[in-house]
Amino acid sequence: MSKPVVAITRPKDRAKKACEIVEKLGGTAVLAPTLDLQPINSESLKELVSRKDELDWIIFTSPTTIVSLNKFYPDFIKSLSCKLAVIGNKTGKLAEKNGLEVDLMPEDFTAEGLIEEFKKRKITSSTIGIPRTASARPILPEELENMGNEVILAEAYKSLFPMDENAVKELIEKIEKREIDAITFTSPLTVENFMQIADDKQKLAELLCENLLTVCIGPITARVLERYGIDYIYPDTYTVDDMMELLFKTWRENNG
């Protein structure tokens, strides 16, 4: 059986593990980031840090948040005395590596999953800090405020259009030449930016449906693929490891 060629579209600083998993499972990885992440010391982040002692909870939704805080405020994380909620194993592990204890991590690694856990615990009248990217969906802060909490929303990093558009254009050319067997998407923006770079979006969507196995990390990213009419699968647990396991299992079943 030939080795599947798998396109990785996640940000470059997060792609190393995904590429390693592809190689470990017997495939060839092609990296073409459709999203770049840039830590920033925004005014809202400065405010969050200045109000650290008011916090009852802080929520980390991605590892990049922790990276940004450590870059601009190296003493902030180690001096936190509030409770910590995280979305995802990777975020949780990095928080623990930084000396924090994770008080809450939902089984469903989405904002919706975290909201449900806060509702179950009847968390209200609390001050909750959420450092993240400004382009993130508004559902988390909105729902927490609807529950009667004060949310301090802070921009910790920017989600940027890919700095290396040529790498994405080269990937699209490879897809047109049928040199790619599968493609992975780990967030809505990885899909949106990928399709934005394409000259013919409908043609690209058709190529993905006809010639590639498209695998995304979970239902939130899947909604964007649906909007473009792209067929997809995603794992029961929304992690990169599970996404890749599903990809190789499905690909081998289809090409056995």
Q: Say if residue 142 is in the same domain as residue 222.
A: no
Q: Say if residue 155 is in the same domain as residue 166.
A: no
Distances (CA, A) of 162 to 69, 70, 95, 168, 239: 23, 24, 27, 8, 22
Of the pLDDT bands very low, low, confident and very high (cuts 50, 70, 90), residue 244 is very high
- pLDDT the model gives residue 13: 83
Q: Say if residue 43 is in the same domain as residue 155.
A: yes
Of the pLDDT bands very low, low, confident and very high (cuts 50, 70, 90), residue 1 is low
- Domain of residue 63 covers 38-159
Q: Say if residue 122 is in the same domain as residue 185.
A: no
Residue keyed to tokens 């469903």: 108
Q: Say if residue 136 is in the same domain as residue 178.
A: no
**pLDDT over 80 (residue 2):** no
Q: Which of residues 135, 159, 183 is at a domain's end?
A: 159
User: Would you call 97 exposed, middle or buried from its count of C-beta atoms within 10 A (0-12, 13-18, 19+)?
Assistant: exposed
Q: Say if residue 195 is in the same domain as residue 223.
A: yes
Tell me: the pLDDT tens digits for 186-217?
Answer: 999 999 999 999 999 999 999 999 999 999 99
Q: Mean pLDDT of all residues in the chain?
A: 95
**pLDDT over 60 (residue 89):** yes
Structure-block tokens of residue 73:
């405020």
Q: Say if residue 180 is in the same domain as residue 120.
A: no
Q: Say if residue 210 is in the same domain as residue 147.
A: no
- Number of helices and strands in the chain (H, E): 11, 9
Cβ neighbors of 186 (< 8 A, separation 6 or more) are 9, 10, 14, 18, 216, 217, 221, 240, 243
Q: Say if residue 154 is in the same domain as residue 46.
A: yes
Tell me: the pLDDT tens digits for 132-191?
Answer: 999 899 999 999 999 999 999 999 999 999 889 999 999 999 999 999 999 999 999 999
Q: Say if residue 101 is in the same domain as residue 170.
A: no
Q: Which of residues 159, 191, 213 is at a domain's end?
A: 159
- pLDDT the model gives residue 254: 92
Contact 24, 200 (CB under 8 A): no
Q: Are strands 150-160 and 36-39 parallel, antiparallel or unpaired?
A: antiparallel
Quote the Cα angle for 216-222-226, to 5°: 130
Read off the CATH number of the domain in which 248 is found: 3.40.50.10090
Tell me: the pLDDT tens digits for 5-17?
Answer: 999 999 988 888 8
pLDDT greater at residue 162 or residue 223? 223
| Residues of the chain above pLDDT 90, percent | 93
Q: Say if residue 136 is in the same domain as residue 214.
A: no
How many domains does the chain contain in total?
Answer: 2
Q: Say if residue 106 is in the same domain as residue 94.
A: yes
